[in-house]
Chain A
Amino acid sequence: MKTKFIMHSGLYTIGGVVCSIEYGNDRVIVEMGSAYNPDTDVYDGTVLPRKKAWVRDAIRTQKIPPIDGLYRQEDLNGFLGLIPAEVSEKNTAVLITHLHLDHMAGIGMVAPSIPVYMHKQAVIIERALEATGEGVPTLERDYTFLEENQPIRVGDIEVLPVLTSTRSYCDFSFLISTPDGTFLYTGDLSLHGEDADLNFKQLEFLKEKEIDVLLCDTTSFMDEVLLQTNDTTDPAAILPSKDIPVGMLDAKDVNRELFRVLQQQKGLCVINFYQREMDEAEKYIAWADKVGRVCVFEPDCAYIVYKFLQIKPNIFIPDSARYPDDPAKQPSWFKELLENAQVVSREEIISNPSGYLLQNSYRHILELFELPDEDGAYLHADGIPIGDFDPSYQNLKRILSRTRFEYVTFFCKNYFGHGYPPQVKYFCDQIDPKVLIPCHGFNPERLLPNHGEQLLPVEGKTYILSEGKLTLESSYDEK
């Protein structure tokens, strides 16, 4: 038997990495996300998702890859001749590094008989999201917890979850061992965030493991970031360095700047962040407290705060059919929240704008029309629409321009959430794999190995791992 590797998707896209490692009938599928392409998402708010054809449509629109033995018979209905999970001989497990949609949007489509591993904290958040209707499209299914440094055995394959972030849902990289060798998948790699120290410590641990194949996040190797960090897109000019490139910010810089705005702004501060980031929510609560403001959340986000942080949050109820006044029409999660939260009214905010830090999601941006905007600031802290690549971003700017809120952001300009190119290069050189598969980026080819071979695998094709080399199955010589 030989170890087989398939890169199903995610080589040339931001997110959407799905790959499988097989040994005999045992198989580990790493990640189950969809590439983040808001500009080309078929579900534009008008096109209706189909109910029975949901999995087939997800495959057709490249939200999930076509994989044998992973989806239910009734969902496939013979589609592309794919083997349904019910009749597959494979012993499969799906492993998720963290709770970002580009890493896990498809987990709800995996047949419930196949275990999906996530960290417990990720499951708490996902369940809260599902309750409010913001979770992934899903069947009734369970998730299996994974824990730091607790190996998961899938037949002859062993997966070691290596903690890379302790924040919110926790992030992991996966060290995957088969009888033929070792793979390391970085997940999202960040060496300048609040967990930078942890990541450098893990690097010391991992570089001793003699990794055969490294799959590495290369998000930052796109033109936009490279030109800021290196003034050139020439891969040869990317020299390994642990340091943050000059002119770029780290998480501490961003935090300091955001806090400064919060402290100095004379009016209401509104913040738009990715509302599953509970460490951010916790931070905003603490910051607000420090500067004499009350941090207030919209109900959907507040429900996650309530479930995850186990506190009674302050909530502001937007003028939306989503939150009916009539208790008989209120969904159960909303009722539960109302019993466990403090409601802050619009009038209270209007009478004391500088006393509040208010979360505002893009969905409810029109609330800004009836909130006090004099001397107010709109802190855009990585909430959707994140940037110009999203067609909704211009709409956000147009709506903001009809208010007096000052638009403040540090994201996308001098700050990037993924590891900066020289740092990623440093990480790879330290691991020094025999095969480097750069992925999760528009320009993975720009990450070059120091000694080993760079492989940009053909998506969907099977490779054999033998003696530290990955060879296309069709050209592999058994001898």
Chain B
Amino acid sequence: MMKSEIQFFEGVMGSGIVASITYGNSRVIFDFGAPFNPMTQPYDGQVEKREKAWVKNAIRLGQIPAVDGVFAEKDLGLESEIQPYKKSYFTTGVIISHLHLDHMSGIGMVHPDIPVYLHRDAHKLQTMLDAVGESVGERAFSPIDLYEPFYIGEIKITAYYSDHPCAGAVGYLIEPPDGKYYYSGDVRMHGGHLDKVVADINKIAKEEVDVLILEATTFSPSMYERADNEPLVASLNIPEGMTSERELLERVYQDLLGSADLGIFNIYHRDMELIKGLFALAADANREIVFEPKTAYIVMHMLDLFPTVFIPDNKDCTGDPAPYLRFVLENTPRIVTSDELMAAPEKYFVQNSYENILELFDLAEQGARYYHLYGEPLVEGSRAYKNMQRVLQLTGVQYAAFANLYCYNHAYPNNLLYMANEIAARNLIAVHSSSPEKLICEHSRKVIPEKGEIYQLVDGILQPIQLY
């Protein structure tokens, strides 16, 4: 009997997962993103992307791995050592867990004849992102639903619920004829949907999975060391000093309560769960929530909510409006001006993205509180982060980053151990982590795959094979 094989091209250490599971000529590639490295990002705002050579350059710059049989010959060039799609032996499909860039920034480079599967909500969000100019390359997608199996060649795939703030986040049960693999995607227990997460963990546990590929983002030195003094105990609790998303929003609410300042938030507008929470928060705080046009467009389509809009003073919002902007202008109940915001700052809760940070020169004149809720720039020490700090200082806003240090968008270490214990797969591969070796489950055999090496499932055990 043939044996399934797994190979990690990227993502065991750090972010940017690209891996494959094959069975004969059937191949599933799961996730297709670039590692998140803002400190060494070659596109620094000055260096331009090359139009025709973008795929070749992405491979050369390490932004996407050199996987055979995925890219078009015209994108690789005739002299490339990478096998083009048309010459590939495999029937390939790509499955995407969610629309954070480190999981999908490369999907526009995948040959158009290779199907790319993602959850229906994620597909809808991608369409909105395309419309507001955040495309990763236009292509067709195959939308899927939870618990509805589909096949890539002989490999059966089923999506399960995963609580991550990005719309349509899922994990995948991947079933070649000889075994079962579960890839968690990104997951958390503290986003307000614990019951659904636990219900699906239980379902997966019943499948008797051979290989669990579990994200372990929070097994980073800064996070893990907080609890390092005590042995890790599997639980669904939130560790001391950490917060849930609900508590995070509660903190912002408490901070705004009774304040005469303008409330400002900087978010990642792919995160629909957080946006829903902000709507509720604004209502509770008796403030009108205001969005920039791009986010408003996404919110209108994804959440069927029609918020007030503030139009930034930039090139995108002047002249003949782009279709997304026209839609927003036609559908918003109200456009609020900077004068109105400045006249009654205590009445508003306003989105401000990094690209429009200079708006704060005006908006913050009467006092403002800036809530940095996972919006770019995220990495302290990066050029953009330092720039953000400088501008905030110039504008005099009060900065509050409740998010980055105390509330991850990822399950805490004890939560991950709970998940690993419950699923109790025969093999455990921790991924998407700076310390994957630290996730140890007593029920599972620990495998830390070498990048590029192929592992075969032999009698339920993953074993490296030699390539000739």
Q: What residues of chain A have their CB less than 8 Å away from a CB belonging to chain B?
A: 39-40, 42, 44-53, 56-57, 60-61, 318-322, 362-367, 369-370, 384-385, 391-392, 395, 398-399, 402
Residue pair B40, A47 in contact (C-beta under 8 Å): no
Is the CB–CB distance between A370 and B53 below 8 Å?
A: yes
- The answer to whether A363 and B314 have CB atoms under 8 Å apart is no
Roughly how many angstroms separate A274 CA and B158 CA in the complex, as a whole number? 57
The interface bits of chain B over 357-386 (1 if a CB of A lies within 8 angstroms of the residue's CB, else 0) are 111011000000000000011000001100
Is B56 an interface position by the 8 A CB rule? yes
B354: interface (CB < 8 Å): yes
Provide the B107-122 mask, 1 if CB < 8 A to any CB of A, else 0. 0000000000000000
Cβ-neighbour of A392 out of B44, B57, B357 (below 8 A): B44
Contact across chains for A392 and B312 when beta carbons are under 8 A apart: no
Q: What 10 pairs between A and B have smallest CB-CB spacing?
A: A45-B45, A319-B50, A48-B314, A50-B313, A48-B355, A319-B52, A52-B313, A391-B383, A44-B45, A363-B48
Starting from the known contacts A42-B358, A47-B391, 5 additional A-B residue pairs (CB-CB under 8 Å) come to A46-B354, A46-B384, A48-B356, A53-B362, A363-B46
CA distance A50 to B357 in the complex (A): 10
Taking a contact as CB atoms under 8 Å apart, the answer to whether A50 and B314 are in contact is yes
Chain A residues whose C-beta falls within 8 Å of the C-beta of B177 in the assembled complex:
none
Show 5 A/B contacts (Cβ-Cβ < 8 Å), sorted by A.
A40-B390, A45-B45, A53-B362, A369-B57, A370-B53
Q: Which of B48, B315, B316, B387 has a CB less than 8 Å from the CB of A366?
A: B48
The answer on a CB contact under 8 Å between A60 and B361 is yes
CA–CA, A320 and B54, complex, Å: 10
Taken residue by residue from 23 to 66, chain B's Cβ proximity to chain A (1 for < 8 Å, 0 otherwise) reads as 00000000000000000101011111111110011001100000
Contact among A56, A320, A398, A399 for B50, CB-based, below 8 A = A320
Asked whether B318 is an interface residue with its Cβ less than 8 Å from the other chain, the reply is yes
Q: Is the CB of B42 within 8 A of A42?
A: no
- Measured CB to CB, the closest approach of chain B to A44, in angstroms, equals 5
Q: Does B394 contact A (CB under 8 A)?
A: yes
B362 touches A60 (CB 8 A): no
Contact indicator A366/B355 (Cβ below 8 Å): no
Cβ–Cβ < 8 Å partners of A391 in chain B: 44, 383
Residues from chain B with Cβ under 8 Å of A321 in the complex? 48, 51
In the bound assembly, the distance between CA atoms of A47 and B44 in angstroms comes to 12
By a CB distance below 8 angstroms, the chain B residues around A44 are: 45, 383-384, 387
- Closest A-chain residue to B359, C-beta based? A50
Q: Does B46 contact A47, Cβ atoms closer than 8 Å? A: no
Cβ of A52: which chain B residues have Cβ within 8 Å of it? 313
CA distance A364 to B46 in the complex (A): 9
Which residues from chain B sit less than 8 Å from chain A, CB to CB? Answer: 40, 42, 44-53, 56-57, 60-61, 312-316, 318, 354-359, 361-362, 376-377, 383-384, 387, 390-391, 394
Expressed in whole angstroms, the minimum distance between the Cβ of B365 and any Cβ of chain A is: 11
Among A45, A366, A395, the one with the most B-chain Cβ atoms within 10 Å of its Cβ is A366
| Residues on A with beta carbons closer than 8 Å to the beta carbon of B57 | 366, 369
CB distance B51 to A57 under 8 Å? Answer: no
Known: A44-B384, A53-B362, A369-B60. A398 touches B40 (CB 8 A): yes
- Report B-chain residues with C-beta under 8 Å of the C-beta of A322: 48
Tell me how many residue pairs across A and B have CB atoms closer than 8 Å: 106
Assembled-state Cα–Cα distance A364/B56 (Å) = 15
Q: Which of A49, A364, A395, A399 contacts B314 (CB 8 A)?
A: A49
Select from chain B the residue with minimum beta-carbon distance to A48: B314
A311–chain B nearest beta-carbon distance, Å: 27
Write out the residue numbers on chain A whose beta carbons fall within 8 Å of the beta carbon of B315. 48-49, 51
Once A46-B384, A52-B313 are accepted as A-B contacts, the answer to whether A402 and B60 lie under 8 Å apart by CB is yes
- Whole-angstrom CA separation of A454 from B359 in the bound complex: 42
A399-B63 Cα distance, complex, nearest whole Å: 13
A50 neighbours in B (Cβ, 8 Å):
312-314, 358-359
With A and B bound together, what is the CA distance between A81 and B359 in angstroms?
A: 20
CA of A77 to CA of B404, assembled, Å: 38
The winner among A46, A370, A395 for most chain B CB atoms within 10 A is: A46
Q: Are A399 and B47 in contact (CB under 8 A)?
A: yes
The answer to whether A319 and B42 have CB atoms under 8 Å apart is no
| Inter-chain contacts of A48 with B (CB < 8 A) | 312, 314-316, 355-356, 358
Check if A366 sits within 8 Å of B53, measured CB to CB: yes
Which of B312, B316, B355, B383 counts the most A-chain CB atoms under 10 A from its CB? B383
Are A395's CB and B50's CB within 8 A?
Answer: no
Residues of the A chain whose Cβ atoms lie less than 8 Å from the Cβ of B51: 319-321
Give, as a whole number of angstroms, the nearest-CB distance from A440 to chain B: 23
Report the separation of the CA atoms of residues A363 and B49 in the bound assembly, to the nearest whole angstrom.
9
Whether the pair B357, A47 counts as a contact (CB closer than 8 A) is yes
Expressed in whole angstroms, the Cα–Cα distance for A40 and B389 within the complex equals 11
Q: Which chain B residues border A370 with CB–CB below 8 Å?
A: 53, 56
Give Cα distance in the complex from A376 to B274, angstroms.
Answer: 52
CB distance from A322 to the nearest CB of B (A): 7
B390 CB contacts on chain A under 8 angstroms: 40, 42
Nearest chain A CB to B300's CB is how many angstroms away? 22
How far apart are B82's CB and chain A's nearest CB, in angstroms? 15
Q: Tell me if B42 and A398 are in contact (CB < 8 A).
A: yes
Specify the chain A residue showing the minimal Cβ separation from B318.
A51
Minimal beta-carbon separation of A338 from chain B (angstroms): 17
Chain B residue nearest to A53 in the complex (CB): B313
Cα-based distance from A364 to B50 in the complex (angstroms): 8
C-alpha gap A49/B358 in the complex (Å): 8
- CB of A60 within 8 A of CB of B48, answer no
In Å, the complex CA distance between A359 and B173 comes to 53
Cα distance A39–B61 in the bound complex, in angstroms? 23
A96 to B314 CA separation, bound complex (whole angstroms): 29
Measured between C-beta atoms, what is the minimum distance from A288 to chain B in Å?
25
Q: Which residues of B contact A363 (CB under 8 A)?
A: 46-48
Q: Beyond A319-B50, A319-B51, is A46–B313 a contact (Cβ under 8 Å)? A: no
Give the Cβ gap from A333 to chain B, nearest Cβ, in Å. 18
CB of B314 within 8 A of CB of A51, answer yes
CB distance from A372 to the nearest CB of B (A): 13
List B contacts of A319 (CB < 8 A). Answer: 50-53
